[in-house]
Amino acid sequence: MTQSWIAPEVSEILEGAHTQAVGLLLDTAQAARKDFETLDQERVNVLAGMDWCQQHEHWDMFVKYAHALTDFLDIRGYWHEARLRLTLAIEACQALGNQRIEAALRHNLAIIHAYQGQYTEARQEYQRCLVLWDLVGDKQGKGAALAQLGSIFLYEKSIEDAEPYYLQAWTLLEEVGDKQGMGTVLHSLGVIKAMRGNIIPAVVCFEESLRLKTELDDKQGMAAALHEIGLLYARIDRGDRARECYEASLELWREVGDERGEAHTLAALGHLARSTDLAEAWRFWRQSLSIARRLQMPIASELNHLLQTENTPE
């Protein structure tokens, strides 16, 4: 029997039942927003709920789904699905006139572009975010967008262009008391200092970032800070301390299910082991490459080249 043969009142009842079921799936997605294991188990169901909202033009609910699922789709590497659904949600926000949520979703879309090395697209989205955050008067959102614009320049190794964005971001985030954002900016300033060869000031930045992230129980932020501190120890030939930091970082990445971070730290462990145990280095690099290929990360080509040119361990 097709929908056209169902009496109007029955059709309304079915529509209401579907809406209620999709609403319950949305509740699941929102409640488990940071519980990526649960969302992975329910991924097919919650995405089906989101698709139903699109098909039936329940745009307000569709946007709520996108907002709830964006971190999960990002961290788990479901980037194609994330881009597609975020783009649709952004269009829905424009139709609904919800500039605040549109800015947040554009911010997340830009992050995904950046992870895949699409820096021009990422920069364009962050610029749109800045306009929207100004329109709604959100200093915290503007500070976060400025920091991410700085990160785009940092990815491109243009530290002189990156630093002013971070300093502008710091001013805004400190003004609103956003410790999470401040910790992220400190981390990035630490990267700049490290790139300039200022090891001790860089360590100070990363340790202060680690303190703030620990205070907030931000395990991803903690993992990132520990990774960078490990890199600095490796640069001054403190391999023992570097390994401790990498292993602590790796444990946190795995705990939160951040495979992107895991791939970077596995690669760093490989670089650290390169001069002392080539077989172990290869093991770390292969693990990293497996993740990087699946997530289409820019470091995949670097690791592939390394494994092709490095002497094969006996």
Q: Give the tens place of pLDDT for each residue, 27-61.
A: 999 999 988 889 999 999 999 999 999 998 999 99
Identify the helix (H) or strand (E) that includes residue 269. Answer: helix 259-273
Mean pLDDT in the chain? 91
Per the CB < 8 A criterion, the answer to whether 258 and 34 are in contact is no
Per the CB < 8 A criterion, the answer to whether 85 and 69 are in contact is yes
Q: How confident is residue 242, by pLDDT bands cut at 50, 70 and 90?
A: very high
In degrees and rounded to multiples of 5, residue 214 shows phi and psi of -65, -40
54-150 shares its CATH topology with 174-253: yes
Distance, first Cα to last Cα, the chain:
67
Per the CB < 8 A criterion, the answer to whether 259 and 291 are in contact is yes
- In sequence order, what are the residues at sequence separation of 6 or more whose Cβ sits closer than 8 angstroms to the Cβ of residue 224? 187, 213, 249, 261
- What's domain 54-150's superfamily in CATH? Tetratricopeptide repeat domain (1.25.40.10)
| 200: three-class secondary structure by DSSP | helix
pLDDT of residue 17: 60
* pLDDT above 60 (res 114): yes
Q: How confident is residue 76, by pLDDT bands cut at 50, 70 and 90?
A: confident
pLDDT of residue 225: 98
Average pLDDT over residues 136-140: 97
Single pTM value for the model: 0.81
- In sequence order, what are the residues at sequence separation of 6 or more whose Cβ sits closer than 8 angstroms to the Cβ of residue 166? 146, 147, 150, 185, 188, 189, 192
* pLDDT above 90 (res 115): no
Q: How confident is residue 2, by pLDDT bands cut at 50, 70 and 90?
A: very low
Average pLDDT over residues 227-245: 96
Q: How confident is residue 239, by pLDDT bands cut at 50, 70 and 90?
A: very high
Average pLDDT over residues 171-194: 97
Range 174-253: architecture per CATH: Alpha Horseshoe (1.25)
How is the chain split into domains, by residue range? 54-150, 174-253, 258-314
Cα separation, 189 vs 314, in Å, equals: 41
Per the CB < 8 A criterion, the answer to whether 153 and 168 are in contact is no
**What are the pLDDT digits (tens) for 80-109?**
999 999 999 999 999 999 999 999 999 999
pLDDT of residue 145: 98
Cα separation, 95 vs 219, in Å, equals: 36
Per the CB < 8 A criterion, the answer to whether 173 and 182 are in contact is yes
pLDDT of residue 5: 41
* pLDDT above 80 (res 255): yes
* pLDDT above 50 (res 13): no
* pLDDT above 60 (res 125): yes
- In sequence order, what are the residues at sequence separation of 6 or more whose Cβ sits closer than 8 angstroms to the Cβ of residue 290? none
Q: How confident is residue 159, by pLDDT bands cut at 50, 70 and 90?
A: very high
pLDDT above 70 covers what percent of the chain?
A: 93
